[in-house]
Structure 1
Amino acid sequence: MSTKLELPIQEFTTPYPVTAREDSSIEELLDIVKNLKVRHIPIMSNGKITGIVSDRDLRIVSALSAREKFLVRADDLMTSDPVTFQGNTSIEDVILEMSEKKIGSVLVADEKGDLQGIFTVTDALDVLIEILRGRK
């Protein structure tokens, strides 16, 4: 008999992640990934989540010429309407959806839609470690 893991996602979320604007250049996004060592960048407009850019997205455009890169902005590259959960959502529900959709991160927002954090596959592995060690 299995029981559902009712821990809220907010317990394992990286709070207030580094974000970028829709008009951020490819170079700005690459700098964020390289210097801050993040793999997912939420894209914001007027304080609201509009998309997400991954390091994989940026690797795809790295083959472009310097002139072509200059013309591409975050909103050209981002995944619009990224998967987003409220902080009180069960960790099990979040991880199951990430697995089913094969996505590397989800955003966590409050009831007004304001970004509160990001939950990644690495965070999910941390949850697994905690469970296996009997801490949760």
Structure 2
Amino acid sequence: MTKPIPQINKFMTTSPHTIGSDQTLEQAKKIMHEFSIRHLPVLNAGKIVGIISEKDINFLSSFKEIDLQKEKVEQAMTLDPFMVNADTLLDGICMEMAEKKIGSVLVKDNNKLVGIFTWIDALRAMNELFQTRLK
């Protein structure tokens, strides 16, 4: 008997930290450092408008003309982030993340952000599946 493929909501990080699009890159960097995270969903009036990563900020900080204390997140974020519904099956998401080299997926329910699924979450899911289904 085979077990069903789990949904992404079983392995996602719930209630992810977010940042407003009008906040500075320095503020985004501080949040990421404080909570040891690499991705921040970007909101504007409660609506998901993008995502910014630690990699984005590190790249921009390499330019001496860019001041992280002045530049806004909206100027550096990735528009139209990869989003899925909370009941999306895990296998398809992991395949798409691998094929497109996507570091994180935003998870929504009724158009509200409910989670984030990163490659770290994918590795945790893989470990749990190994431990519970393949032992």
Where do residues 2-21 of structure 1 align in structure 2 (5 Å cutoff)? 6-21=5-20
In structure 2, the CA distance between the partners of 1:55 and 1:92, relative to structure 1 (3 Å rule), is same
What is the DSSP-based 3-state SS (H/G/I as helix, E as strand, rest coil) of the residue aligned with 1:134? Answer: helix
Q: Distance in 2 between matches of 1:43 and 1:85?
A: 16
Partner of 2:115: 117
Partner of 1:79: 78
After TM superposition, which residue ranges in structure 1, 4 or more long, deviate above 4 angstroms?
none
What is the DSSP-based 3-state SS (H/G/I as helix, E as strand, rest coil) of the residue aligned with 1:41? Answer: strand
Q: CA RMSD in A?
A: 1.9
* Structure 1: unaligned runs, 5 residues or longer: none
Partner of 2:131: 133
Deviation at residue 36 of structure 1 after TM alignment: 1.2
Q: Distance in 2 between matches of 1:122 and 1:52?
A: 17
In structure 2, the CA distance between the partners of 1:94 and 1:5, relative to structure 1 (3 Å rule), is farther
What is the DSSP-based 3-state SS (H/G/I as helix, E as strand, rest coil) of the residue aligned with 2:22? Answer: coil
Partner of 1:46: 45
Cα deviation, 1:5-39, whole Å, max 9, x if unaligned, reads 52110000101100001111011011011111110
Deviation at residue 73 of structure 1 after TM alignment: 0.9
What is the DSSP-based 3-state SS (H/G/I as helix, E as strand, rest coil) of the residue aligned with 2:68? Answer: helix
Q: Distance in 2 between matches of 1:29 and 1:71?
A: 12
CA contact (8 A) 2:61 2:67 kept: no
TM-score of the two chains, using structure 1 as the length reference: 0.90
Q: Amino acid of the residue matched to residue 44 of structure 1?
A: L
Q: Distance in 2 between matches of 1:131 and 1:67?
A: 44
TM-score of the two chains, using structure 2 as the length reference: 0.90
Q: Distance in 2 between matches of 1:44 and 1:75?
A: 9
CA contact (8 A) 2:60 2:66 kept: no
Deviation at residue 71 of structure 1 after TM alignment: 3.8
* Structure 2: unaligned runs, 5 residues or longer: none
Q: Amino acid of the residue matched to residue 85 of structure 1?
A: V
Partner of 2:56: 57
